[in-house]
């Protein structure tokens, strides 16, 4: 078991994996996808800068929120390359999807509230159910669950 020293400027893939709680294979995947970067030693071993820990934590948290990796990559590209990101940098990039998160919260609340009604009705009132679409009356609005996704 290798430990990342508190004053280490760089980490091996094993040290970063242990400290971040993310498997080495996931770290290599993140790198292939352009989410994190590393430098290579003369022996072709990866070395990650210490601030990569923050990036990995941000990626994992964003994934838990349901943010797609492509969106995470786009936002991480806004961080400075020449220095460790500051609290202000992180706050600025998190604003990029505040509106999207609010929309998701509204949708999840609507789903939660309507599922409670649906479970209670026993599917006897499909004419007013927001999850069904009797007679496909909403087809004119295009694909998707329109009653559920209304804002």
92-148 tens-digit pLDDT: 888 888 888 888 888 888 777 777 665 555 554 555 565 555 566 666 777 666 655
* Closest to 16 in 3D by CA, of 63, 61, 54, 59: 54
Name, in order, each residue with C-beta under 8 angstroms of 23's C-beta and a sequence gap of 6 or more: 17
pTM of this structure: 0.69
Size of the chain, expressed as the number of residues it contains: 151
């Amino acid at each position: 078991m290798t430990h990342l020293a508190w004053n280490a400027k760089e980490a091996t893939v094993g040290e970063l994996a242990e400290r971040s709680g993310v498997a080495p294979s996931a770290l290599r995947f993140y790198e292939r996808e352009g989410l994190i970067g590393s430098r290579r030693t003369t022996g072709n071993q990866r070395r990650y800068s210490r601030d990569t820990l923050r990036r990995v934590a941000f990626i994992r948290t964003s994934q838990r929120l349901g943010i797609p990796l492509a969106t995470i990559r786009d936002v991480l590209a806004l961080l400075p390359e020449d220095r460790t990101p500051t609290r202000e940098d992180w706050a600025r990039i998190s604003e990029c999807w505040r509106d999207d998160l609010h929309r998701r919260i509204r949708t999840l609340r609507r789903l939660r509230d309507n599922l409670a009604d649906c479970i209670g009705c026993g599917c006897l009132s499909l004419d007013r159910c927001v999850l069904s679409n009797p007679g496909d009356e909403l087809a004119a609005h295009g694909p998707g669950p329109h009653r559920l996704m209304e804002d």
